Amino acid sequence: MFENLSNRLNEVFDRLKRRGALAEGDVDAAMRDVRVALLEADVALPVVKDFVKTIKERAVGQEVIKSVTPGQMVVKIVHDGLKELLGGEAVDLAKATNPPLVILMAGLQGSGKTTTTGKLAKRFQDKERKKVLVASLDTRRPAAQQQLEVLAGQVGCASLPIVEGQDALAITDRAMKTARGEGYDVVILDTAGRLSIDEELMAEVAAVKDKAQPQESLLVADAMTGQDAVKTAEAFDQRLDVTGIVLTRMDGDARGGAALSMRHVTGKPIKLVGTGEKSDALEPFHPERVASRILGMGDVVSLVEKAQENVDEEEAEKLARKMQKGSFSLDDYKKQIQQIKKMGGMKGLMGMMPGVKKIQKQMNEANMDERILVRQAAIIDSMTPKERRNIKLLGASMMKRMKKMGKRGMPPGGQIPPELMPR
Amino acid sequence: MASWWQRLKGGLQRSSQALTQNVSAIFTKRKLDDEALEELEDALIQADLGVDMAQKVAARLKKDRFGKDVGDVEVKEALAGYIAETLAPVAEPLVPEAGAKPYVVLVAGVNGTGKTTTIGKLAAAWAGEGRRVGIAACDTFRAAAVEQLEIWADRAGARFFKAATGADAAGLAYDALASAKREGLDVLLIDTAGRLHNKSALMDELRKIDRVLAKQDQAAPHASLLVLDATTGQNAHRQVELFREAIDVTGLVVTKLDGSARGGVVVALADAFGLPVHAVGVGEGIEDLRPFEAEGFARALLDLEPA
């Protein structure tokens, strides 16, 4: 993967001694790196080209403020540009002022429409105390309708009863009648996944839209999408005139360049992001964070959130006290290993820290193998409690036990690693 | 071979059009200079080959033809040749060993890539060859995942093993393998819940499924498939890396190649990891799973007639 862009740009400008305004030649060199960074982050090529052109115009001739390097200056210009393009501030969903509020969910297969439908229903219900009805129009994927029914049960909203043999339009009809007749505030129509080039199915979803007249037509897209983001977004927007985009799986480690591509080609706001498997893992979109993420500039906010999620504070304090007293045992060491692992491993953690990428390069060169931690934990597991407290007791029976644990427990060469050996 | 190509091309046709148009627009017949090469590189990047792979392919073209007058078809032929060369070593169909009873296939991947659908298609194909196939529904997490797979199992005529939603996936895998052995099944396909590769707790759960299978049969799982969505961009590299750290991934299946995504990521993955690509998914029908074939894929991607 591409290393930290700001480091790269600093390197480009480090070679230049002179200060003052950014010259065209220097900026050109920097823009080549920006281009590659954006492409590695899956921003679509036409979008990258437009963006780089705009940024270049902005950067050339800019006075470099005294306190920063020219590289930092360019990074700031790029970062600001990304933020701007992603949409300055969060745009909320339409309000259910004139009920029912109708929301249409559309997108490719497997983008996360049904899961998002469940999360949206929960949000309206819990946060705004609305009466919500969900309806699955997916008559194609096996058990898709049941899936939404189960999700509705989990979040506690109503789901339109399943009638075998009805097509998407008939279900839409029934959903709208039920919503109006029974006084629902919000009705969410979950459509089948479809390819943007499938003429017949694209026409179907357009017909559903005609019938339901939704206030919100949301395109649900996977944050891991590559260059195809442009075509998918264009095709759905053309047919449905979407009102917003929901980006799912933002809790993955994709840079999320698709956000930029889709926003740029449709001009429609990204309204929500999916951030987990739980039914409340649906959040407003933060352009700032995604801009940093696309540039690989580290995401301190996410790091802090991750730490809060995984680190048991009491436990951490206990360990700290032990360390001070010098009674830190192998058991304690193992707890530390597990905590690091929960937070995404050493590499994952370091990747989120701004500026650490530079050290990471050296660490990679030093051949740090993260599996060492896994192995060490396994070895500690195979010791008796007595051995863990007093490692000098380790002997032949320990080796036998390690062998029993198989390949993961067995250190390379059949040796107990020196870092665990008694000193 | 020709019929295989036609079927794949049917699925790939629209997706390859854009790439082909790009390449054609560049080379009607002109001198292959730096500018032309850069445009070519761009076209490859738009097919999701990634910057590195696109540069590599373009560099080869430069070495072979730089400064020469080249035509559209000639360039496409050359490109298809390079791409096929990269793909040839990884084009390996998945054939269950007859000796293993059952031959256990673990299927993993991130959410929504098409694991369940792929299992349905694999089961149907193998059952059609006269094998006795079992399917274990170890996605005990997602709502109605079991019901979805059960419908596929019915269509394929496969023996179906399930547990309640929320049940321990590894426990079910263990029991399913025991039953499959007892019943003398030839193949056991194990579906797993979709999981993001950067979630360590979920990856540990996958490791556990892998481990309990080995407890009964040291060779199991005989194959561990990672299902990748062709619309995925460069993150596919991370997926392969991290799933490989958790389980011994033996091969890939690439799905949704019938869409507008071009699947160029397969080329980059073949170059980077060399993992076999067993099959490609080109539709929602039960027969829409094709063996992966290097030359056919490369030529279809560039919209060239079969060799």
Q: What is the 3-state secondary structure (H, E, C) of B215-241?
A: HHCCCCCCEEEEEEECCECCHHHHHHH
Q: What is the pLDDT of residue B5?
A: 45
3 state DSSP class of A422: coil
| Same domain assignment for residues B209 and B160 | yes
Q: What is the pLDDT of residue A3?
A: 47
CA of B31 to nearest chain A CA: how many angstroms apart? 24
Does a structural domain hold residue B299?
no
**DSSP string over A355-380:** TTHHHHHHHHHTT--THHHHHHHHHH
Tell me whether residues A142 and B47 touch, CB distance under 8 A: no
User: From the list A45, A143, A196, which residue is nearest B42 (CB)?
Assistant: A45
Token pair 């839209």 is at which residue? A209
The verdict on A165 touching B (C-beta cutoff 8 Å) is no
| Same domain assignment for residues B85 and B226 | no
B112: which chain A residues are within 8 Å (Cβ-Cβ)?
109-112, 222
Tell me whether residues B200 and A257 touch, CB distance under 8 A: no
A232: which chain B residues are within 8 Å (Cβ-Cβ)?
231, 260
CATH number of the domain bearing residue B112: 3.40.50.300
The verdict on A379 touching B (C-beta cutoff 8 Å) is no
More confident residue, B73 or A375: B73
Q: With contact defined as beta carbons under 8 Å apart, do A247 and A256 qualify?
A: yes
Tell me whether residues A110 and B235 touch, CB distance under 8 A: no
Domain around B243: 103-293
Q: What is the pLDDT of residue B305?
A: 76
The residue among A5, A34, A48, A109 with the most chain B CBs within 10 A of its CB, best to mutate, is A109
Phi, psi of A411 (to 5 degrees): -70, 155
Tell me whether residues A226 and B233 touch, CB distance under 8 A: yes
Does a structural domain hold residue B256?
yes
The verdict on A149 touching B (C-beta cutoff 8 Å) is yes
Q: What is the pLDDT of residue B2?
A: 42
Tell me whether residues A147 and B14 touch, CB distance under 8 A: no
Q: What is the pLDDT of residue B261?
A: 82
| Same domain assignment for residues B131 and B226 | yes
Q: What is the pLDDT along chain A (423 residues), one digit of tens a residue?
A: 334 566 767 676 666 655 677 888 888 888 988 899 899 889 999 999 999 999 999 988 888 776 677 777 888 888 889 999 998 777 889 887 789 999 999 999 999 999 999 999 999 999 999 999 999 999 999 999 999 999 999 999 999 999 999 999 999 999 999 999 999 999 999 999 999 999 999 999 999 999 999 999 999 999 999 999 999 999 999 999 999 999 999 999 888 899 999 999 999 999 999 999 899 999 999 888 888 888 876 555 555 555 556 666 667 777 777 766 766 677 777 777 777 776 666 666 666 555 555 555 555 555 556 666 777 777 777 777 777 776 666 666 766 666 665 555 555 555 566 666 544
| Same domain assignment for residues B108 and B55 | no
- Contacts of B21 by beta carbon, 8 Å cutoff, 6+ apart: none
The verdict on A112 touching B (C-beta cutoff 8 Å) is yes
Q: With contact defined as beta carbons under 8 Å apart, do A157 and A187 qualify?
A: no
Phi, psi of B22 (to 5 degrees): -60, -50
pLDDT digits (tens, 9 = 90+) for B194-238: 999 999 999 999 999 999 999 999 999 999 999 999 999 999 999
The verdict on B223 touching A (C-beta cutoff 8 Å) is no
Q: Go through A365-390 and write b for each residue having 16 or more CB atoms within 10 A of its CB, e for each that does not.
A: eeeeeeeebbbbbbbbebbeeebbee
Task: Give residue A255's Cα distance to chain centre.
Answer: 8
Q: What is the pLDDT of residue B21?
A: 65
The verdict on B39 touching A (C-beta cutoff 8 Å) is no
The verdict on A196 touching B (C-beta cutoff 8 Å) is yes
Cα separations in angstroms, A55 against A37, A60, A84, B73, B285 = 14, 9, 11, 37, 46
Burial of A418 (0-12, 13-18, 19+ CB in 10 A): exposed
The verdict on B258 touching A (C-beta cutoff 8 Å) is yes
| Same domain assignment for residues B145 and B209 | yes
Q: How far apart are CA A23 and CA A67, in angstroms?
A: 18
B142: which chain A residues are within 8 Å (Cβ-Cβ)?
147
| Same domain assignment for residues B60 and B107 | no
A225: which chain B residues are within 8 Å (Cβ-Cβ)?
231-233
CA of A376 to nearest chain B CA: how many angstroms apart? 16
Point out the domain boundary residue: B24, B59, B90.
B90
User: From the list B196, B234, B284, which residue is nearest A251 (CB)?
Assistant: B196
Does a structural domain hold residue B284?
yes
pLDDT digits (tens, 9 = 90+) for B233-253: 999 999 999 999 999 999 999
Helices then strands, each counted (H, E), chain B: 11, 10
Does a structural domain hold residue B306?
no
Does a structural domain hold residue B172?
yes
More confident residue, A298 or B29: B29
User: From the list B112, B234, B256, which residue is nearest A40 (CB)?
Assistant: B234
Point out the domain boundary residue: B90, B125, B158.
B90
Beta-carbon pairs below 8 A across chains A and B: 151
Q: Please, what is the angle between helix A70-85 and helix A257-266, to 10°?
A: 50
Point out the domain boundary residue: B45, B60, B90.
B90
Question: B 282-301 residues with CB below 8 A of A?
Answer: 284
Does a structural domain hold residue B243?
yes
The verdict on A348 touching B (C-beta cutoff 8 Å) is yes
pLDDT digits (tens, 9 = 90+) for B95-109: 999 889 999 999 999
- Structural domains of chain A, with CATH: 3-85 (1.20.120.140), 101-294 (3.40.50.300), 309-420 (no CATH)
User: From the list B141, B233, B284, which residue is nearest A225 (CB)?
Assistant: B233
CATH number of the domain bearing residue B25: 1.20.120.140
Question: A 41-60 residues with CB below 8 A of B?
Answer: 41-42, 44-45
pLDDT of residue B17 exceeding 80: no
The verdict on A242 touching B (C-beta cutoff 8 Å) is no
Lowest mean pLDDT among A358-367, B65-74, B292-301: A358-367
| Same domain assignment for residues B71 and B134 | no
Torsion (CA) A269, A272, A274, A278 in degrees, nearest 10: -170
Helix residue ranges per DSSP H, B88-167: 115-128, 145-156
Q: What is the pLDDT of residue B218?
A: 94
Q: What is the pLDDT of residue A2?
A: 38
Range B220-223, long-range pairs (CB < 8 A, 24+ positions): B220/B100, B220/B104, B220/B177, B221/B104, B221/B105, B221/B106, B221/B190, B222/B96, B222/B97, B222/B100, B222/B103, B222/B104, B222/B105, B223/B94, B223/B96, B223/B103, B223/B104, B223/B105, B223/B106, B223/B250, B223/B251
- Contacts of B209 by beta carbon, 8 Å cutoff, 6+ apart: B106, B138, B169, B170, B173, B190, B192
CA nearest neighbour of B111 among A231, A313, A394, A249: A249
Question: Looking at residues B187-197, what average pLDDT do you find?
Answer: 97
**DSSP string over B103-123:** EEEEEE-STTSSHHHHHHHHH
User: From the list B50, B231, B236, which residue is nearest A108 (CB)?
Assistant: B231
Question: B 182-201 residues with CB below 8 A of A?
Answer: 196-201
Does a structural domain hold residue B304?
no
| Same domain assignment for residues B57 and B135 | no
B152: which chain A residues are within 8 Å (Cβ-Cβ)?
142
The verdict on B78 touching A (C-beta cutoff 8 Å) is no
pLDDT of residue B287 exceeding 50: yes
B141: which chain A residues are within 8 Å (Cβ-Cβ)?
277
Q: What is the pLDDT of residue B1?
A: 37
In this prediction the ipTM stands at: 0.89
| Same domain assignment for residues B84 and B124 | no
| Same domain assignment for residues B122 and B71 | no
pLDDT of residue B52 exceeding 70: yes
The verdict on B72 touching A (C-beta cutoff 8 Å) is no
Phi, psi of A419 (to 5 degrees): -70, -15
The verdict on B262 touching A (C-beta cutoff 8 Å) is yes
The verdict on B141 touching A (C-beta cutoff 8 Å) is yes
Domains identified in chain B, total number: 2
pLDDT digits (tens, 9 = 90+) for B106-149: 999 999 999 999 999 999 999 999 999 999 999 999 999 999 99
| Same domain assignment for residues B80 and B218 | no
Q: How far apart are CA A34 and CA A47, in angstroms?
A: 13
| Same domain assignment for residues B133 and B175 | yes
Tell me whether residues B110 and A39 touch, CB distance under 8 A: no
Token pair 């665990």 is at which residue? A420
Strands (E), A93-160: 101-107, 132-136, 158-159
Does a structural domain hold residue B303?
no
Q: How far apart are CA A29 and CA A9, in angstroms?
A: 9
pTM of the model: 0.81
